[in-house]
Amino acid sequence: MKRLLPALLLLATPRLALPQEPTPQRPVVFNEVIDVGLRQIYVTVTNRRGTRVTDLGPETFTIVDDDRPQEIVTFESGDIPITAALVVDGSRSMLGASLEAALSGVEAFALDMRDLDEASVLVFSDRVLSRTAFASTPDEVLSGLEEVKATGGTAVHDHLYLALKALEARQGRRVVLLLSDGLDGHSVVSFDQLEQVARVSQSLVYWVRIRKGHRISADTLSLGIWVDPRQSARDHRRLEKLVERSGGRTVEIDEVSDVEWAFREVLSELREQYAIGYYASPPNTGSGRFRTIRVKVERPGLRVRTREGYVDH
């Protein structure tokens, strides 16, 4: 029995595998670069009375990118998640009841948010007075706003710029909702700089403008001592164009008490937009060139609003 033990151990010992010569692999060669980035645009359609039209199908639309018709590959209508930056003027012109009414509008927006929506609130004067993180619940969105007091001058360009930059890292349909009379007397950011970041951004910009019963002119502006009144008046008009080019619009109100209605009106419009996706042809190349977008609808008498284009990057 003892003599059999070494033989049994030998049989039970597993054989060691000898190293094999590696099988030669053929290199993979890529002969072309394909840009698979989906370009998505948001479109508002209204009739002659200004009523939004919500019953259109994809066959009604034609997308033209740099004068070339594009094939629509995705199409949605109705509720699409929103990521919003609410930028609220808290300068001394908003003292007392005015700021309270403005924050009531913010609260109305937050309470009407849906599960996948996000929002952040930035209250500003010539500096940041309060800023909340992007969040999806009203309590988080509105956190700390009850402590804000109106003070200081107005720096619209600075804080609109800040909001646009903050949205660059966010996903989904990005929106800036600005509440201000637009009279900027204290910004460090020039309008040219603001315009550049808005041109690159894919955010829609809406402006709830408080008219306060007067037309804007150079001698009605409340400005810092280093600001040219005529240039500031020109920048005010350029802000209107910036909003329009983004695909948003200006909602004018006579009194701050109308803010809640205005915020709900903007949110209602966002809920009724069309989201249309296409793969740009010819594809994007990262050239940094601005590519124009036009959207057409076959049904006569309808007005279409979307952003004017995008930077190829």
277 with 267, same domain? no
Q: Which domain holds residue 298?
A: 39-78+273-311
pLDDT mean over 170-184:
91
The whole-angstrom separation of Cα 223 and Cα 230 is 11
Is the pLDDT confidence value at 267 over 60? yes
Task: Measure Cα distances from 100 to 96, 121, 255, 257, 260 in Å.
Answer: 7, 14, 13, 9, 11
Note whether 95 and 194 are same-domain residues: yes
**Residue 286 pLDDT greater than 60, yes or no:** yes
* Same-domain check for residues 118 and 227: yes
- Are 101 and 236 in a shared domain? yes
Convert the pLDDT of each residue in 36-57 to its tens digit.
Answer: 589 999 999 999 999 999 999 9
- Strongest mean pLDDT among 8-22, 99-113, 181-195: 99-113
- 128 lies in the same domain as 258: yes
- Is the residue at 3 inside a domain? no
pLDDT value for 220:
41
* Residue 189: pLDDT over 90: yes
Question: At residue 231, does pLDDT exceed 80?
Answer: no
The whole-number pLDDT of residue 133 equals 94
Portion of the chain with pLDDT greater than 70, in percent: 83
Residues 105 and 187 grouped into a single domain:
yes
pLDDT of 66: 95
Q: What is the value of pTM for the model shown?
A: 0.84
Q: How far apart are CA 56 and CA 185, in angstroms?
A: 44
Let me know if residue 32 belongs to a domain. no
Q: How many domains does the chain have?
A: 2
Identify whether 5 is part of a domain: no
- Residue 36: exposed, middle, or buried by beta-carbon count in 10 A (0-12, 13-18, 19+)? exposed
172 burial type by CB count under 10 A (0-12 exposed, 13-18 middle, 19+ buried): middle
Backbone angles phi, psi at 237, to 5 degrees: -70, -35
User: Does residue 25 lie within any of the structural domains?
Assistant: no
2, part of any domain = no
Average pLDDT of span 80-92: 95
Q: Which residue has the higher pLDDT, 7 or 110?
A: 110
Residue 198 and residue 306 in one domain: no
Nearest to 295 by CA among 248, 247, 250, 251: 247
Task: Among 5-9, 87-91, 240-244, name the one with the lowest average pLDDT.
Answer: 5-9
* pLDDT over 90 percentage in the chain: 73
For residue 25, is pLDDT > 70?
Answer: no
What does the pLDDT average to over 252-260? 93
136 and 248 assigned to the same domain:
yes
Tokens 């309008």 correspond to 191
The answer to whether residue 12 sits within a structural domain is no
pLDDT in the model for residue 6: 45
Pairing status of strand 250-253 against strand 204-210: parallel
What 3-state DSSP class applies to 269? helix
Q: Do 292 and 243 lie in a common domain?
A: no
**Domain harbouring 127, CATH code:** 3.40.50.410
Residue 119 and residue 264 in one domain: yes
- Tell whether 60 and 157 lie within a shared domain: no
Q: What is the pLDDT of residue 22?
A: 55
Question: Which of the 8 DSSP states describes residue 195?
Answer: H
98 shares its domain with 219: yes
- Evaluate whether 75 touches 60 at the Cβ level (below 8 Å): no
Tell whether 109 is covered by a domain.
yes
Query: Which three-class secondary structure state does DSSP give residue 82?
Result: strand
Q: Which pLDDT score is estimated for 225? A: 52
Inform me whether the pLDDT recorded for 234 exceeds 90.
no
DSSP assignment string, 219-268 = GG----TTS-HHHHHHHHHHHHHHHHHHT--EEEESSGGGHHHHHHHHHH
Least confident of 19-33, 142-156, 232-246: 19-33
pLDDT for residue 20 = 56
Does 19 map to a domain? no
